[in-house]
């Protein structure tokens, strides 16, 4: 242990501790720019200068990279130190006068005037102040070494190798995180002309799917996380003040005993790529409903503005209804929600841009409360609604001036003509589909599905939330496409049904079940492995089998298999079926 004195306070620290770290332990504030707790001290910015008492006078040293020595006496706030700080800041501000972090530090030391001119003056607020934290973190913590610095003196710059896109960059965002001036910015990769946010999947190791998600909590993608590859980094753990990150967390499998299940597994959206005539994935500026929804969101990639890939607002937008819905080739059903959101898009696009809006529909399904009134309003706002299918979307433009324009070729059935309408952007209202794993979920729970693939309700009119299995309920788009008010109503209904069963306190047993006559049973146990609910057990003492009437569902398989006919299937006994046969065949 080393003993040193800072500002009159003596303390003991471990060997190897820097003066800056010792000061931190004493809550003494020393300003820094190029220092970062995750990085080796660099001593570049000179802001952390302190006065170190020597035998004959004093010395100004950088506290970040000067190790504490036994018996040292340090003053962090003497006049010499303050003068030095002021001068350092003056020099920094001479070159970068508008950077907020420098201006704030200047205020703190009472610096108001900069006396020096600079040949390399940069007025930007986000100028690079050459603290090199980005370069150092990329090398020391991340281990990718994707950026570096070149040249010397006033010509020093942070660059990528050969000034080209760095292949070593793993897009972790560490550089952007430690940059004090936001000169280093982290932007999602461009994919098919769309910002990464449209991909609705992780693109960095620590991510939040959307900024408005509930719960608003990030998660770590194991595949992308550097720590799981090299054992290093842990930048996120260091950055997290409440210490909420734990890389050692493992998946937990929790078994919960329940009596009822509500299956509300939602939907997937139809991928319009196979419909080559609409150009999705091939041409620029063609989006699905969800993608445009993301664009219109204020936390989205454009901040809520409607923009083309080239950054300009569109002059005309086509919104095409029924993509994959009401279609013999894909889904015959109607997806129910698209007409209303298509009208919503028309309304918002007209509100936020000067663009002409064209809606191409088969029917306008405005079925709910206030929906038809909204449709009238959108018509009054000047949206052009055209009744007819779009045959294809092609790249148009006879001249360089029109490059990028799309041409929508369609049929306008109300005027009986074919039309070609030039637009800048096309929105495809794609169908709601059952989830990709719906077959597995159905197997797991024993759910039936209707021909369109959604889960089957017990009765389409009289029991839309229950299924044929007691205690198993279905709600939301898992049962069929519907919009939010209907989902809420259905989910409330299902929850109420489940609560009713629970609050009853007892479970009613179906009278249709099997019972074994002890006197007739031979104890052969043929029935036991046949029961899918393991409802039959063998009584060792009586040497006969017995049916547990709460587990028995009454399928009758054991009744059919019993060699001694000692099992009675109530409601469907051998005698009853025989009587039916006699009756039916006596005519």
Under the rule (CB under 8 A), what is the footprint of another protein?
A: 442-443, 446, 448, 450-451, 456, 468-469, 512, 530, 532-533, 553-557, 559-561, 569, 571-572, 574-575, 577-582, 584-587
- Rounded to an integer, what distance in angstroms lies between the CA atom of residue 182 and that of residue 244? 25
**Beta carbon of residue 468, minimum distance to another protein (angstroms, whole number):** 5
DSSP secondary structure string for all residues of 193-206:
TEEGGGG-S--SSE
Q: How many CB atoms lie within 10 A of CB 559?
A: 22
Nearer to another protein, 346 or 567 (CB): 567
Nearer to another protein, 397 or 471 (CB): 471
Nearer to another protein, 326 or 513 (CB): 513
CB 158 within 8 A of CB 181: no
CB 226 within 8 A of CB 172: yes
Structure token digits, residue 452: 């369109």
* Exposed e or buried b per residue across 195-210, where buried means at least 16 C-beta atoms within 10 angstroms of its C-beta: bbbbeeebbbbbbeee
Structure token digits, residue 511: 């009278």
Question: Could you tell me which residues come within 8 angstroms of residue 162 by beta carbon, excluding any fewer than 6 positions away?
Answer: none
CB 338 within 8 A of CB 368: no
- Rounded to an integer, what distance in angstroms lies between the CA atom of residue 311 and that of residue 324? 29
Pairing of strands 356-361, 316-323: parallel
Nearer to another protein, 177 or 458 (CB): 458
Residue 211 DSSP label: T
Nearer to another protein, 27 or 575 (CB): 575
- Rounded to an integer, what distance in angstroms lies between the CA atom of residue 344 and that of residue 348? 6
Backbone φ and ψ of 361, nearest 5°: -130, 165
**Beta carbon of residue 478, minimum distance to another protein (angstroms, whole number):** 16
Q: Hey, which residues does 194 pair with through a beta bridge?
A: 191
**Beta carbon of residue 498, minimum distance to another protein (angstroms, whole number):** 20
Nearer to another protein, 153 or 563 (CB): 563
Residue 283 DSSP label: B
- Rounded to an integer, what distance in angstroms lies between the CA atom of residue 282 and that of residue 454? 31
**Beta carbon of residue 449, minimum distance to another protein (angstroms, whole number):** 8
Nearer to another protein, 147 or 472 (CB): 472
Question: Could you tell me which residues come within 8 angstroms of residue 265 by beta carbon, excluding any fewer than 6 positions away?
Answer: 435, 438, 441, 478
Question: Could you tell me which residues come within 8 angstroms of residue 397 by beta carbon, excluding any fewer than 6 positions away?
Answer: 403, 404, 405
**Beta carbon of residue 569, minimum distance to another protein (angstroms, whole number):** 7
Q: How far is CA 129 from the centre of its chain?
A: 34
Alpha-helical segments (H) within 96-225: 100-109, 133-137, 174-178
Lookup result for tokens 């530090």: 105
**Beta carbon of residue 528, minimum distance to another protein (angstroms, whole number):** 14
**Beta carbon of residue 450, minimum distance to another protein (angstroms, whole number):** 5
Nearer to another protein, 173 or 556 (CB): 556
**Beta carbon of residue 483, minimum distance to another protein (angstroms, whole number):** 24
3-class secondary structure per residue, 475-537: CHHHCCCCCHHHHHHHHHHHHHHHHHHHHHCCCCCCCCCEEECCCCCCCCCCCHHHCCCCCEE
**Beta carbon of residue 512, minimum distance to another protein (angstroms, whole number):** 6
**Beta carbon of residue 142, minimum distance to another protein (angstroms, whole number):** 49
For residue 340, what are the CA distances in angstroms to 364, 488, 502? 8, 17, 38
**Beta carbon of residue 331, minimum distance to another protein (angstroms, whole number):** 16
- Rounded to an integer, what distance in angstroms lies between the CA atom of residue 511 and that of residue 187? 65
Nearer to another protein, 258 or 584 (CB): 584
Nearer to another protein, 539 or 581 (CB): 581
**Beta carbon of residue 474, minimum distance to another protein (angstroms, whole number):** 14
3-class secondary structure per residue, 91-117: HHHHHCCCCHHHHHHHHHHCCCCCCCC
**Beta carbon of residue 582, minimum distance to another protein (angstroms, whole number):** 5
**Beta carbon of residue 334, minimum distance to another protein (angstroms, whole number):** 18
């Amino acid at each position: 242990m080393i003993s040193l004195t800072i500002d009159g306070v003596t303390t003991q620290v471990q060997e190897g501790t820097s003066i800056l770290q010792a000061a931190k332990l004493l809550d003494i504030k020393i300003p820094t720019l190029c220092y970062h707790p995750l990085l080796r001290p660099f001593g570049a910015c000179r802001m952390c200068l302190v006065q170190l008492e020597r035998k004959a006078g004093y010395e100004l040293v950088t506290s970040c990279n000067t190790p504490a020595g036994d018996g040292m006496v340090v003053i962090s706030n003497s006049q010499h130190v303050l003068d030095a700080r002021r001068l350092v800041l003056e020099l920094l501000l001479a070159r970068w006068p508008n950077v907020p972090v420098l201006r704030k530090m200047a205020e703190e030391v009472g610096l108001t005037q900069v006396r020096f001119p600079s040949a390399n003056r940069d007025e930007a607020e986000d100028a690079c102040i050459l603290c090199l934290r980005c370069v150092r973190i990329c090398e020391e913590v991340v281990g990718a070494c994707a950026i570096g610095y070149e040249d010397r003196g006033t010509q020093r710059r942070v660059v990528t190798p050969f000034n080209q896109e760095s292949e070593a960059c793993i897009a972790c965002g560490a550089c952007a995180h430690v940059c004090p001036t936001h000169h280093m910015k982290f932007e999602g990769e461009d994919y098919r002309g769309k910002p990464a946010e449209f991909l609705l999947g992780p693109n960095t190791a620590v991510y939040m799917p959307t900024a408005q998600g509930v719960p608003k909590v990030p998660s770590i993608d194991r595949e992308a996380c550097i720590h799981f590859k090299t054992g290093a980094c842990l930048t996120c753990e260091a950055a997290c003040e409440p210490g909420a990150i734990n890389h050692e967390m493992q998946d937990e499998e929790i078994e919960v005993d329940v009596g009822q299940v509500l299956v509300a597994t939602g939907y997937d959206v139809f991928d319009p790529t196979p419909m080559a005539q609409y150009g999705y994935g091939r041409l620029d500026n063609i989006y699905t409903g969800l993608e445009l929804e993301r664009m219109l969101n204020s936390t989205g990639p454009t901040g809520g503005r409607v923009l083309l890939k080239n950054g300009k607002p569109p002059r005309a937008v086509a919104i095409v209804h029924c993509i994959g819905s009401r279609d013999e080739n894909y889904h015959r059903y109607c997806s129910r929600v698209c007409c209303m959101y298509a009208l919503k898009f028309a309304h918002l696009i007209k509100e936020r841009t000067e663009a002409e809006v064209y809606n191409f529909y088969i029917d306008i399904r405005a079925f709910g409360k206030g929906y038809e009134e909204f449709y009238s309003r959108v018509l009054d706002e000047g949206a052009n609604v055209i009744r007819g299918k779009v045959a294809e979307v092609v790249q148009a433009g006879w001249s360089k001036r029109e490059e990028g324009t799309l041409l929508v070729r369609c049929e306008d059935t109300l005027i009986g003509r074919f039309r070609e309408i030039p637009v800048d952007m096309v929105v495809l209202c794609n169908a709601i589909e059952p989830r990709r794993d719906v077959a597995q979920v159905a197997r797991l729970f024993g759910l039936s599905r209707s021909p369109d693939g959604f889960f089957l309700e017990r009765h389409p009119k009289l029991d839309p939330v229950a299924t044929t299995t007691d205690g198993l309920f279905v709600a939301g788009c898992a049962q069929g496409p519907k919009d939010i008010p209907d989902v809420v109503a259905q989910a409330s209904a299902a929850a109420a049904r489940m609560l009713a069963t629970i609050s009853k306190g007892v479970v009613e047993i179906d009278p249709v079940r099997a019972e074994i006559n002890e006197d007739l049973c031979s104890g052969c146990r043929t029935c036991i492995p046949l029961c899918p609910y393991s409802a039959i057990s063998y009584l060792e003492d009586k040497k006969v089998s017995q049916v547990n009437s709460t587990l028995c569902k009454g399928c009758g398989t054991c009744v059919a298999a019993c060699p001694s006919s000692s099992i009675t299937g109530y409601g469907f006994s051998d005698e009853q079926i025989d009587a039916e046969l006699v009756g039916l065949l006596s005519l």
